[in-house]
Structure 1
Amino acid sequence: MISKINRKIKIIKNKILWHLQKPTIKVDGKKGLEVTFLGSRYGGWNFIKTSNINTSTMISIGAGEDISFDVMIANQFDTQVILVDPTPKSISHIKEALKNIGRPASTSFSETGRQEPSSYPLENIRHGQILHEKSAIWTHNGHIKFFQPPNPNDVSHSITNIQNNYKKSSEKNYIEVPCLTIDEIIKKYNLTEIEILKIDIEGAEVHVIPQILNLPPSLLPKQILVEYDGILYPNKNYIKMCLDCDDNLRKKGYTCVHQHEKNNFLYVKP
């Protein structure tokens, strides 16, 4: 009973703090661009539909148990997709889902964050078209603490421990996972271009985006789909880093053309 009350108090507190501290990210509009939504209601994303997506490469950082967007991009556009997620539940989910390569979906998407492997349309996908990098993306190569969510039924772990108010607890509430920089991922998979980069990594995005923007111009993604998770977990330091990321993206020539819900943003680069 007490834990339920504490959770409700935390939710109310976060809502108040969100209204007081929420960052203002300017959305410049679509300007004739064809914004398209693909995926489930929970795990879907908006992107700009262009001919460049056909047979291109997408890196999807943070997969969880809903890879509906990634699968549909691969299935419709013959895109090479690299999923990046070391979460144990995600590893199991992706393994089961990819067993159905070559088959159409036999069930519908659920409204939750966990999709049934049978719900993915994989009929046009080839073996090897969707790859799974079982590492976290971070600012260095090696290993990193991956903090568990408060609810053991949830899938999303976090390097920043965002779901636990960023606390660096001494308790064993984390697992250790391998981590790679964006540069190392590009080298490992011999990438020469990135059409779409999706980032959903529970608060770590503000640490990783600066490294992404240091890539050579030819390797900068044409579209960046980012979830600024810390917007939902108010913290002054995070908000500043979030605004810095937005500012630096614009300095690199990106335009924010779409916002979905409170914290999902779509940036495009000509």
Structure 2
Amino acid sequence: MKFKKYLKQLIQLTNRFGGLKGLVVFILINSKGKGIIILRLKQLRTPIYLRANTSDIDVFFKIFVEEEYNFFLPANAEFIIDGGANIGLSALFFVIKYPNAKIVAIEPENSNYSILLKNIAGYPNIIPMQKAIWHESTILSISNPLNMGNYGFMVTTNEADEISFNEISTITIPDIIKDYQQQSVDILKLDIEGAEMELFSNNAGWVESIHQIYIETHDWIKTGCSKALFTAVQNYQYDVFSKGENLLWVNHSISKGKMV
């Protein structure tokens, strides 16, 4: 089984990056030790940093090999919110597509955020923010109850949670829009491990200011996440597409042109 897995991985990498580069990336990401893997992609002027033998490898595959966000992208984007930015790879993907866009990359968890800062250091238009996206301003606990690695951290209001690692302040979508003096958001990417339930269930009128939402809903963590999303957007003229684990919601009420 491992042979088939590695063969598939090698084929994907060589198809995506070419024979030699794909082989180099394959060897690096399958190294058995701990520490930091440094990858250099021609689309980026600075290296990518990944933690060996962690979920960072899966995130890299999803974003740069399978290109999970590369579908029906707007032709142009000026303001992007990356909610649940993890180690910054999604923000880097967007900066390749939209080198002049202002990208707010929001990640609550300390260890992910420290790698995010390394990964985006060469891009002043990517603005890091160590907070959690929520429907109101408050303080939440961060935990990883399902032990899903570095991409499984969740926020909760349960202060008595025995596996809580630390606390984090929150920020709302309207506050982000106001703080950066924007009228609307071209792309809102959300991978927030179930917090979309609370986000879309409370004070979700801000949806009218969003052109496109790329979102992974986590109904298997919190029943009703998808329902909360569709209830919040039901009064708008929209289309929904899917690719892999992600849904794309396109708001035609404020459409800004073609998608690619």
- TM interval, shorter chain, is 0.5 to 0.7
Residue 52 of structure 1 corresponds to which residue in structure 2?
Answer: 76
Change (3 A) 1:134 1:186: same
Q: Aligned AA for 1:222?
A: H
Q: Is the counterpart of residue 252 in structure 1 residue 236 in structure 2?
A: yes
The 3-state SS of whatever aligns with 1:74 is helix
Q: Is the 8 A contact 1:136 1:180 kept in 2?
A: yes
Q: Can you give the 5+ residue segments of structure 1 that lack an aligned partner in the other structure?
A: 1-37, 102-124, 162-166
Give 1:227's match in structure 2, choosing from 196, 216, 222.
Answer: 216
Q: Please provide the CA RMSD for this pair.
A: 2.7
Provide the TM-score with structure 1 as the length reference: 0.62
Q: CA deviation at 1:156?
A: 2.9
Distance across 1 between alignment mates of 2:184 and 2:92: 20
Q: Which of 73, 79, 87 is equivalent to 2:101?
A: 79
Per the alignment, residue 268 of structure 1 pairs with 250
1:68 maps onto 2:52 in alignment: no
Contact 1:46–1:266, Cα closer than 8 Å, also in 2: no
Look up the SS of the partner of 1:92 in the other structure. helix
For 1:52, what is the secondary structure of its paired residue? coil
Q: Say which SS state the counterpart of residue 228 (structure 1) adopts.
A: coil
Judged with a 3 Å threshold, the aligned counterparts in structure 2 of structure 1 residues 49 and 188 are, in CA distance, closer, same or farther, namely same
Secondary structure, in 3 states, of the residue corresponding to 2:210? coil
| Distance of aligned partners of 1:185 and 1:171 in 2 relative to their CA distance in 1, 3 Å threshold | same
- Per-residue deviation, 1:89: 1.6
1:126-170 alpha-carbon deviations (Å, 9 max, x no partner): x2x000111101122131112224438434311249xxxxx8864
Which residue in 2 is equivalent to 1:94? 116
For the 8 Å contact 1:139–1:211, the answer to whether it is kept is: yes
- Secondary structure of 2:183's match? coil
Q: Secondary structure at the match of 2:198?
A: helix
Larger RCO, structures 1/2 (Cα 8 Å, 6+ apart): 1
Sequence identity (%):
21
> Counterpart of 2:64 in 1: which secondary structure?
coil
Q: Quick check: 2:213–2:250 contact (8 Å CA) kept in 1?
A: yes
- Which residue of structure 2 lines up, in the alignment, with residue 16 of structure 1? none
Structure 1 CA distance, aligned partners of 2:148 and 2:230?
32
TM-score (norm 2): 0.64
* 8 Å CA contact retained: 1:224, 1:266: yes
Offset, 1:253: 2.2
What amino acid is the match of 2:243? Answer: H
Whether the aligned pair in 2 keeps the contact of 1:149 and 1:155 (CA below 8 Å) is no
Q: For residue 63 of structure 2, what is the aligned residue in structure 1?
A: 39
Cα distance in 2 between the residues matched to 1:42 and 1:86: 25
What SS does the corresponding residue of 2:76 show, helix, strand or coil?
helix
The count of aligned residue pairs is 190
Deviation of 1:213 (Å): 3.6
Runs of 5+ unmatched residues, structure 2: 1-61, 253-260
| Separation (CA, whole Å) in 1 of partners of 2:67 and 2:142 | 21
Q: Is the 8 A contact 1:183 1:215 kept in 2?
A: yes
